[in-house]
Amino acid sequence: MLSVNEKFRIDYYRLQVGAWRILGALDLSNGNYLGWAMFLNFFVSMLVPLLLLSLFSFETPLENITNFSLTITSLSTILKFGMYVLKLFKLTEMRQVIAQLDSRVSGEEQVRYHRQMAKHLQRLSRIFLVTYLTVMVNTAGSFLFRSERSLPFPLWFPFDWRHSTVAYVAVVLFQEVGIFCQILQNFVDDSFPPLALYLIAEQCHLLIMRISCIGYGPATQRANEKELVDCINDQNDLYSLLELTRSLISGPMMIQFIVIAVNIALTMFGLVSYVDTVQDRVYYVTFLWGITLQTYPLCYYGTMVADSFASLHYAVFCSNWTVQSSSYRSNMLIMAERTKRRQQLLAGAIFPIHISTFAVICKGAYSFFTIMHDRVDNEK
């Protein structure tokens, strides 16, 4: 029979760490600036200046919209990836804190709840992976169905690739590698924060379960005092995990919130106003789903974290504290006072990571969409 610690020896971020390893982020974070990691990221970064040189230089509005959307997406992706690289060393400390919290899981009810949490985390990772793989396939392969020679996405090159097979193959390979790396970067940048927040919220709920049942079993008052002290240590671990997560995701999420409203508006505008083929419609719908997935789960689980920490205060008084020792009641009151502080996650110390922020993003996207639509109507 496996012990609790052996059962819960889970790498919750296995897919994300694997993606960071492929992209060379772990090597760069450890100070290894030579070899494959440096070459790959330099190669992918070359997409940005080429996209910037291509801005508004195409004949059709749809190509210009696609190019502008890809430009701001690529730029934000590279910036977010760089921010993660600078702080990925904190991932080891986060794993240690999570392992400590997992070791405290006991009892049939907590074990069952923890198992459900682990399954949901794996399911959430797979949803992100499948979504981004779908976006990658649509982006990388949609150009194959066009009647004339074209590229996966509109981009300027200083040579004629339309009439040279060698140049065309080289350009397509360059774009395909760039698409793979950038979508892999997007996958890991966008899936890690909601997974981390969901894990914090559920670990907080497990702590609530442990606190609430103190004093109702056959344990002695001394044993209950020890259990409360252990729960206070769990509370400290949770605050530490929350702070580590905040320091890791705050900067990238600020960039994401700024870019996402513009991207949703551009995608909807292109889809409604200019798309006229099935292939382009599938691409734009998939892309819209992908950028929505960047933000909604994050905001939802950010709200879940705030609610879970707010529930800690009530859980303290759900324990059978009235018949406990004065030492227990003193520690309980200290813990209760600490739980009064609202745990509000902020992106860049500005934007709350909360479902209300997602509503604001959607309103901003609608406003930007309306401005573009009105301007086109006036020009006609």
In angstroms, what is the C-alpha Rg of the chain? 25
**177 has pLDDT over 80:** yes
Q: Which of 36-40, 207-211, 294-298, 343-347 has the lowest mean pLDDT?
A: 36-40
Gap between the Cα atoms of 96 and 102, Å rounded: 10
State mean pLDDT over 79-86: 88
Count of CA atoms in the C-beta half-sphere (13 A) of 294: 32
Among the residues of the chain, which ranges form H helices? 4-7, 14-23, 25-29, 36-45, 47-53, 61-87, 90-102, 108-141, 165-212, 221-273, 278-293, 296-318, 326-338, 355-379
Gap between the Cα atoms of 250 and 21, Å rounded: 22
Gap between the Cα atoms of 351 and 255, Å rounded: 10
Cβ 201 vs Cβ 305: under 8 Å: yes
Cβ 181 vs Cβ 40: under 8 Å: yes
Q: What is the pLDDT of residues 2-23, one digit of tens each?
A: 344 444 456 788 899 998 988 8
Find, among 210, 194, 187, 233, the residue nearest to 22 by Cα.
Answer: 187
Gap between the Cα atoms of 236 and 232, Å rounded: 6
Gap between the Cα atoms of 52 and 47, Å rounded: 9
φ and ψ of 112, to 5 deg: -65, -45
- The pLDDT value given to residue 208: 94
Q: How far apart are the first and last CA of the chain?
A: 74
H/E stretch holding 353 reads: none
- The pLDDT value given to residue 244: 94
User: Could you give the percent of the chain with pLDDT greater than 70?
Assistant: 89
Cβ 184 vs Cβ 23: under 8 Å: yes
**65 has pLDDT over 90:** no
State mean pLDDT over 222-226: 91
Q: Which of 45-54, 207-216, 261-270, 365-374 has the lowest mean pLDDT?
A: 45-54
